Amino acid sequence: MAATRITIRNNGSIRVEGDFEILDPEGKAFGLAGQTAVSLCRCGHSSNKPFCDGTHKKIGFQDQVQARDLPPPQTKPAS
């Protein structure tokens, strides 16, 4: 299977494609029924969280995304 690709869509969901698993807070995997691509909710209004159900279109969710570099991680001071 291909490497995992995550695409943040303008005004929409987070698209995850490839070889991945999605875990709940206890580490239990969601049953994805063999799907190799899913969309995750980014607007917070889906009735099927963490998956997108298209509600972002109905509520007018808007957020433009542009790739950028993150700052390097900060090192923790030694104890």
pLDDT at 33 over 70: yes
Q: Give a yes or no: residue 34 inside a domain.
A: yes
Q: Give a yes or no: residue 50 inside a domain.
A: yes
Q: Give a yes or no: residue 23 inside a domain.
A: yes
Compute the average pLDDT of residues 36-42.
97
Q: Give a yes or no: residue 77 inside a domain.
A: no
User: How distant is the alpha carbon of residue 5 from its chain centre?
Assistant: 10
Contacts 24+ apart (CB under 8 A), 54-58: 56/11, 56/12, 56/13, 57/12
Q: Give a yes or no: residue 2 inside a domain.
A: yes
User: Exposure string (b/e) for 8-27, b if CB count within 10 Å is 16 or more?
Assistant: eeeebbbebbeebeeeeeee
Could you give the percent of the chain with pLDDT greater than 70?
Answer: 97
Q: Give a yes or no: residue 21 inside a domain.
A: yes
Q: What is the pLDDT of residue 2?
A: 62
pTM confidence score: 0.86
CATH code assigned at 18: 3.40.5
Q: Give a yes or no: residue 67 inside a domain.
A: no
Q: Which domain holds residue 36?
A: 1-62
Asked if 14 and 8 touch (Cβ cutoff 8 Å), the reply is yes
Q: What is the pLDDT of residues 42-78, one digit of tens each?
A: 999 999 999 999 999 999 999 999 999 999 999 888 7
- The count of structural domains within the chain is 1
